[in-house]
């Protein structure tokens, strides 16, 4: 089930991808997940308007480097002209694949006619994809099975994206109203796979190797995309690939060091408190550990707490 995959001439070492996650998919995290076995990693979704206005925070989302090849970025917007210009911009030049977000369920995105809202506007969705394809870049699209329970849009929307020139689609097997809850709709992902010739990546409910096999077996998808499982345990990529994982503390310390290097101490303190809290899931005393972490004021304090709290069984005393 886990195998190399080619997307419009771009070869990925395997078909298990790290999803774009707002607030978490920064460069050090993506780089770490790639080192642990992810075949491709995506930036968090980047606003085309933000780039057009030269927003520095938006530009920082595009930080990348040698530890990430091939490279994938996700963008969002609702203007075909602006989105094509973004694809052609210098900021996106380092990226080998540009993914268009048509699946974000958040109200502030949907109210602007972006994200999931584009599934209810197929004419505009087609225009956006076809214009972005004219940039000459590889274009993929990530979307859901519909807006509300009972919708069955995945197959038709996958075909629309393919007809517009997309080289890959990712289907999140839930409707917008489900957000991230409930089991994925394997049937709709399978219908999307049957409707197109381009690669189809399945997203939703994948937490381990067993889930990967189940998803691919039930849907025929060409690969899977992992989101929240990686936030709680990035070593999931090692498990899926059958590789020996490093210690959780080891990868945390690398992530902390690189987050400081690329984004500075203030950002690193806040970001790595959040990440450590995720990594504590399932450990004895996790609730108290999180309280202590969120009281930390410097990267040094976060590191000291991590050395105490993020200890795997057999490596020392757990929390």
Place of tokens 């380092």: 94
Which DSSP category does 317 fall into? Answer: -
104 flagged as catalytic: yes
Angle between helices 80-87 and 122-133 (to 10 degrees): 30
**Residues pairing with 168 in the sheet:** 140
Angle between helices 122-133 and 154-164 (to 10 degrees): 30
**Residues pairing with 75 in the sheet:** 46, 100
Instruction: Read off φ and ψ for residue 169, nearest 5 degrees.
Output: -130, 150
Query: β-pairing, 16-18 with 10-12?
Result: unpaired
Q: From 112, 177, 111, select the one nearest 144 (Cα to Cα).
A: 177
Please tell me whether residue 102 adopts helix, strand or coil conformation.
strand
| Cβ-contact 79, 53 below 8 angstroms | no
**Residues pairing with 140 in the sheet:** 99, 168
Going from the C-alpha of 232 to that of each of 97, 104, 124, 277, the distances in angstroms are 26, 21, 36, 9
Q: From 172, 257, 212, select the one nearest 275 (Cα to Cα).
A: 257
Active-site residue, from 87, 104, 116, 161: 104
Residues catalogued as catalytic: 104
């Amino acid at each position: 089930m886990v195998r190399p995959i080619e997307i419009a001439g771009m070869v990925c070492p395997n078909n298990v991808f790290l999803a774009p996650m707002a607030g978490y998919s920064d460069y050090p995290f993506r780089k770490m997940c790639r080192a642990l076995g992810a075949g491709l990693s995506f930036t968090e979704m980047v606003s085309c308007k933000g780039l057009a206005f030269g927003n520095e925070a938006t530009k920082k989302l595009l930080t990348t480097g040698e530890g990430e090849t091939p490279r994938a970025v996700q963008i969002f917007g609702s203007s075909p002209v602006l989105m094509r210009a973004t694809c052609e911009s210098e900021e996106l030049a380092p990226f080998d694949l540009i993914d268009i977000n048509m699946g974000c369920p958040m109200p502030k995105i949907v109210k602007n006619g972006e994200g999931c809202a584009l599934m209810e506007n197929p004419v505009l969705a087609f225009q956006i994809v076809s214009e972005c394809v004219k940039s000459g870049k590889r274009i993929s699209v990530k979307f859901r099975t519909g807006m509300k329970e009972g919708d069955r849009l995945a197959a038709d929307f996958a075909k629309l994206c393919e007809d517009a020139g997309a080289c890959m689609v990712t289907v999140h097997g839930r409707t917008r109203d489900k957000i991230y809850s409930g089991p994925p709709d394997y049937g709709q992902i399978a219908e999307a796979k049957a409707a197109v010739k381009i690669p189809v990546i399945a997203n939703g409910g994948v937490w381990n190797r067993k889930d990967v096999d189940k998803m691919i077996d039930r849907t025929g998808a060409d690969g899977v995309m992992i989101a929240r499982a990686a936030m709680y345990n990035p070593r999931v990529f090692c498990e899926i690939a059958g590789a020996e994982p490093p210690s959780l503390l080891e990868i945390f310390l690398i992530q902390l060091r690189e987050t400081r290097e690329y984004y500075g101490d203030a950002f690193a303190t806040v970001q790595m408190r959040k990440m450590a809290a995720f990594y504590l899931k399932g450990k004895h005393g996790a609730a108290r550990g999180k309280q202590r972490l969120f009281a930390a004021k410097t990267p040094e304090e976060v590191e000291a707490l991590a050395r105490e709290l993020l200890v795997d069984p057999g490596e020392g005393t757990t929390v």
